[in-house]
Amino acid sequence: MPFLPARPLTILTLLYLLVCVSLVKAAPLDPAMIPNDTKWLLHFDVEKARDWNLMQKWQQQMESKEWYRDKVEEMIEAYGWNPAKDLEGVSMYDNEYARFNGVLALHVRNIDADKIAARFQTLHPEAKTESYQDRFISTWTTDSPYRGEHSVSGCLMDNSLMLIANNPQKIKASIDVIDGQAPALQDDSSLLDSFNQDAILACRAIAVPEEYQAKTRCPVLQRCQSATMFFDANDDTMQLKYDLEANDEELASKMKGAISGMRTMMGMKMGKEKLGKKMLDAMQITREENHLLIEWQGQSEDVEKLSQAMKGRKWDKYNWKQSKNKRKENQKSGNEQPNNKSTEDLDEWIKNFQL
């Protein structure tokens, strides 16, 4: 699900994805390919990311790194497509709320089906394949440090679209929509209401059920019936917006107070760093009844300067690979403990604020 806490690793992963696709042709959201009963949707539109001059500068920096060039070449050799040039767009969606659920749609230019099939057969010779509507859906077992052993299904729709999901039924539902045999999202759909289809990155969740709110680790969906976010940018400005519908007016007031308090504390920690304060001051937080609106707009030039200033800071030298390997070792040995501290701290923070 989108709206997960923006931990440093998550931010770095997103930036890596943005850099990888910054030079490719765009694949804007096509509602006609999304089932009409979808409850949450995320879409990454590559066109503006490619045209954004700051992203192009980051791309040039990445291409100067040997490990990055090696990784791209490895992808080309293994799968027949270059993630820095051939990936055109990414969508994620589902009609229910559950962890590790949903459909991932990858729009790729000129997929080499034979090379991908050969690579897949090498990696997953045990995969089971079934035919559906003249397409082939494969299901295989994989492993991850976050979920453990689990099954995954995938389908190569044509030479430009791949679908991946947690079970074959979700892929079949998407195939029915793409083939026009099942209803797709309409322009007046409540899911598309306030969904910025022109943004670089946009996501929206609606009708979040109480039972999911009670167990999710997402701090936004724990407290909101619906949530919308988008990020957009051009050569001059960047814009970020959250539009949240809290469960009730009191909770919206507490959320506003908590976010305002966090912003104030961050400003105090920055001390005399004027650029950081300028970016914090650009954040606007407003509330009307149970609706909370968070808007931020800044100069792309300032973001570039701040990113340069952050180089060499303590967090920039953090050994992410070592941390990941340690987490894997703890999981295998059974010593891994759930990290609920961040969620508990946020709960306590919100309880202590009301504006």
Q: What is the per-residue pLDDT across 173-192, written as a single tens digit (0 to 9) for each?
A: 999 999 999 999 998 999 99
**pLDDT band for position 149 (50/70/90)?**
confident
In angstroms, what is the C-alpha Rg of the chain?
Answer: 21
Of 4-13, 48-57, 193-202, the range with the lowest mean pLDDT is 4-13
Q: What is the pLDDT of residue 53?
A: 84
Contact between 109 and 82 under an 8 Å Cβ cutoff? The reply is: no
Q: pTM value?
A: 0.78
| Contact by Cβ (8 Å): 34, 248 | no
Lowest mean pLDDT among 14-18, 80-84, 95-99: 14-18
Q: What are phi and psi of 260, to 5 degrees?
A: -65, -40
Q: Is the pLDDT of residue 3 over 90?
A: no
Task: For the chain, report the end-to-end CA distance as a whole number of angstroms.
Answer: 29
331 falls in which pLDDT band (50, 70, 90)? low
**Average pLDDT value over all residues in the chain:** 81
Higher pLDDT, 346 or 299: 299
Question: Is residue 1's pLDDT more than 50?
Answer: no
Please check the confidence at residue 22 and state whether its pLDDT lies above 90.
no
Mean pLDDT across 143-168: 89
What's the pLDDT at 284?
94
Q: Tell me, what's the pLDDT at 117? A: 87
Average pLDDT for residues 41-70, to the nearest whole number? 86
What percent of the chain lies above the pLDDT cut of 70? Answer: 79
